[in-house]
A and B are shown apart, each in its own frame.
Chain A
Amino acid sequence: MRIKVDATKCIGAGLCVVAAPEVFSQNEDDGLVIVLQEYPPQHLHEACREAARLCPALVISFDE
C-alpha cells in the first residue's frame, strides 16, 4: 500500500492524525497533512483506510 495525499485540498481537520498517528502528521507551518510513512506496514493498513474514510476533504488515496 502506497499513501497518496493531495495537500492542496487539505483543511487541517486532523482526523487522519487521530486515526493513524504513525502514518499521518500535520505541518508545523500551516497544519496541513504530511505523510510520515509512504509505504505503511501491513498492520497499519486498516487505520490508514479509516483515515481516508474520515477525511472531510477526501485528501487521502492509495495505490494498492
Chain B
Amino acid sequence: MDDLNAAAPAFPMRRCPFAPPPEYAEIRENEGLSRVTMPDGSLAWIATRYDDVRAILGDSRFSTVPSTPGYPFIAPARAALLKNEFPPTIIRMDSPEHTKYRRMLSKEFMVHHIEAMRPELQQTVDTLLDEFIAKGSPADLFEDFALTVPTTVISRMLGVPYEDRDFFQERSKAKLDLTADPEVPIRAGAEMREYLDRLITEKMVHPGNRSDLISRLVMSQVVPGHMTREEALATIELLLMGGHETTANMIALGTLSLLTNPDQKDALVADPSLVRNTVEEMLRFHTIVHYNGPRVALEDVEVAGTLIKKGEGVLALITAANRDPKAFAEPDKFDIRRPALHHVAFSYGVHQCLGQPLARAELQIVFSTLFQRLPTLRLAVPVEEIKFRYDAFVYGVDTLPVEW
C-alpha cells in the first residue's frame, strides 16, 4: 500500500504563486506521464509534456463526458456538480454531438467579428478606467477594474443586464470553488439557470432588435427546434461564466507580472506593438485554468510509450505543458518577447476555447491602455501579502491593492 501511494502521489498538487506545482517538472523530466491518486481515492494519469498534452487533448479516443466510468474528478465539489449537470455544457460533450452545438456558436466569436468590436471595446475600457481612476488611489484593481471590463463586455454581448452582475459573479465564484461543500456549487448552478431562464422568456416576449447573442440563439436555434431551451440555458451559462471569470483573473495576474517586471512594462509602454506577444506570454505564464482537460480513455491508447487503458482517467495538464522547456526556452522566465503563440492556455483539440478571439482583444486593449493612463501604477502591498486563489477552478487573486 505504501508503495502504491509513493508511486501515485495525491492530486491536485499545490501550485506556487507564479509557477505550477514543482512536482510537474520532476515528472516531465522523468517518465512524462505519471499515476496520481485523486481525492476520491481513485487512480488517474497526469500528462506533463507539451507534446503529450496536445496529443491527448487532440485525440477523440479520450472522452470529456463525466458520466464515463473512470472520469477523474479533481474535487468532491466538482464531482457533485458534473454528475448532476443536465443538460451538459458543450465542453463536456464528445463529437459528433459537440460539433453540432459548437457550430451554432462559432460564428459569434469569429476573429473578424471580434476585430470589428475593437473600437467599442476600447471605449468600454477607457470609460471603466476613467471610473477606476476617479475613485482615487489606493484602489483594488481586481474588483474595480479587472472584473468590471470582461463583465461589462460579456453582459453587453449576451444581453444580460449589467445591474445583475453581483448576482451572476457570486454564483459563478461559488460554482468554481473547489473547496466548497458539494451542495454549494449545485445550488449556485441551479440559481444561475433559473435566472437565465427568466431572461430567455423576457427576450422571447420582447424580441427587440435581436442585437444580442442570447436573442439570436433563441430565435435562430431554440425557436426552430435545433436546440432545446435547457441546452440553450447550459450554453449561455457557460458563455457568461467563461466570459468574465477567466479574463478578469488574466487582467489581474497580467498587471501583476508587469508590475513585478518593470523593465518589461517600460518596454511595452515604449513599443505598443509588443502587446500581442505580451498577452500570449501572460496566458502561457499563468495558465489560469489549471485543471483543464479531465479525460477518460474510451479504448486502450498509447501515449509516448505509456499504455493508458480503456476506462482510465487522464489529466492533460496545460499548466505543465506551458512550462515545458522543449516548447518554451527558459519556461519559468516571464518574457514578453519570446514566441508564445503556440501555448495551450486555451487548451487544445476540439474543445479549445471558443471565446479566445474576444479574450485576446480585451487583454490587448487593456494592456495597451492601462500603463499609458497610469504610468506610476504600482503595488500598494508587498507581493508576499497578495492572496492567490489556489482553491478555485480558475486561478487568480482575491484582491490586487495598487496605488499611483
Contact = CB atoms under 8 A, between A and B. Distances in A.
Interface of A: 11-15, 17-19, 25-32, 50, 53-54, 56-58
Given A11-B106, A30-B106, A18 B349 contact: no
Given A12-B102, A14-B357, A53-B342, A29 B107 contact: yes
A56 B348 contact: yes
B106 A32 contact: yes
Interface string B74-110: 0000000000000000000000000100110011111
B342 A54 contact: yes
Contacts of B108: 31
Contacts of A12: 102-103, 106-107, 109-110, 354
20 contacts: A11-B102, A11-B352, A12-B106, A12-B109, A13-B353, A13-B354, A14-B111, A14-B357, A17-B111, A17-B112, A18-B111, A18-B341, A18-B360, A19-B341, A30-B103, A30-B106, A31-B103, A32-B106, A56-B348, A58-B58
Nearest to A12: B106
Tell me whether chain A's interface is mostly helix, strand or loop, or mixed: loop
Contacts of A54: 341-342
B350 interface: yes
Most chain B beta-carbon contacts within 10 A, residue among A12, A17, A27, A32: A12
Contact of B111 (A26, A29, A50, A57): A26
Given A11-B352, A19-B341, A26 B110 contact: yes
Contacts of A13: 346, 352-354, 356
Interface residues of B, number: 25
A63 to B, nearest CB: 23
Interface of B: 57-58, 99, 102-103, 106-112, 341-342, 346-350, 352-354, 356-357, 360
Contacts of A29: 107
Nearest to B280: A18
A56 B352 contact: yes
A17 B357 CA distance: 10
Contacts of B357: 14, 18
Given A11-B352, A18-B341, 9 more contacts: A13-B346, A13-B352, A13-B354, A14-B357, A30-B103, A32-B106, A54-B342, A56-B58, A56-B350
A57 B59 CA distance: 9
A30 B107 contact: yes
A14 B357 CA distance: 7
A21 to B, nearest CB: 8
A14 to B, nearest CB: 4
B342 to A, nearest CB: 6
Contact of A56 (B99, B106, B349): B349
Nearest to B104: A30
A11 B112 CA distance: 15
Q: Which 5 pairs between the two chains have the least Cβ-Cβ distance?
A: A12-B106, A31-B106, A31-B107, A56-B352, A14-B111
